Amino acid sequence: MEIKKKIVIVEDDPSLQQSLGGFLSSEFEINQTFDGETAERMIEEIKPDLVLLDLILPKKSGFELLEIMRQKTDLKDIPVIILTNLEGKRDIERALKLGVRIYLIKAFYNLEEVVKIIKRTLNDKNIKR
C-alpha cells in the first residue's frame, strides 16, 4: 500500500476546516489546527509534504509562521499553499517575498479546484517553496 502524503491544514474557521479536511481525508493524511502556535509545533513534528496556510490566525499569523519555517533548514523546503481571503497587493507581495509560490483566494476557488492544485503541487517535485 502506498503511504498517504501528509498535509497540515492551518485554518481558523471551523466550517472551512471541516469541508477542506473532509474533502481531502480520503486521499491524504490530514492534520488540522486552528492557530499559528500549534501549527508551528505540528509542522515541526510531522514534517508534512504540504502545508495549507491561512494568513489571519490566532496567536501567530500565517506570515510569522512562514518566517519561522524559512529560517529552519528542515522546514524551509516544505511547499506552502496560501489559502486566504486577503487580496491586497501588500499582503500578496509579502507572502511571495517569504517564498510562497501558490497564493489562492478562497472566494475565487471551488473545493475541487483547490484539490487539483494541491495534487499538482504534491506531484511536482520541482516546486519547492
Partner 1 sequence: MERLKTFFQTFNVKSQCEKYEIPLFQCPQFLFILMGLIIIVSIVAVYFTAQKYAEPEFLALIILVITAFLFIIGWTIIGAFEKLAESSRMKSDFISIVSHSLREPISAIKWELELWEKEELTIRAEKNPLFSRLKAKNQEISRLLNTIIDAYNIESKQIKLYPQPFSFDALVKKTIEELKLRVEANNFIIEFYAPDRLSSVFADPKKIQIILEHLFNNAIRYSPAHSKISVSLEEQGDFLKCAVSDEGIGIPREDTLKIFQKFFRSGNVYRYQESGVGLGLYVSRSLALLMGGNFGFNSIEGKGSTFWFSVPKYRD
Least Cβ distance, residue 41 to partner 1 (angstroms): 25
List all residues 6 or more positions away from 5 whose beta carbon is below 8 Å from its beta carbon.
28, 29, 49, 50, 122
CB closer to partner 1 out of 13 and 37: 13
CB closer to partner 1 out of 22 and 58: 22
Cβ–Cβ < 8 Å for 85, 91: no
Pair type for strands 80-84 and 29-33: unpaired
CB closer to partner 1 out of 44 and 93: 93
Least Cβ distance, residue 4 to partner 1 (angstroms): 20
Binding site for partner 1 (CB under 8 A): 13, 15-16, 19-20, 22-23, 56, 85-90, 92-93, 106-108, 110-112
Least Cβ distance, residue 71 to partner 1 (angstroms): 26
Least Cβ distance, residue 58 to partner 1 (angstroms): 14
List all residues 6 or more positions away from 50 whose beta carbon is below 8 Å from its beta carbon.
5, 6, 7, 8, 78, 79, 80, 81, 118, 121, 122
Per-residue DSSP letter, 29: E
SS3 65: helix
CB closer to partner 1 out of 72 and 96: 96
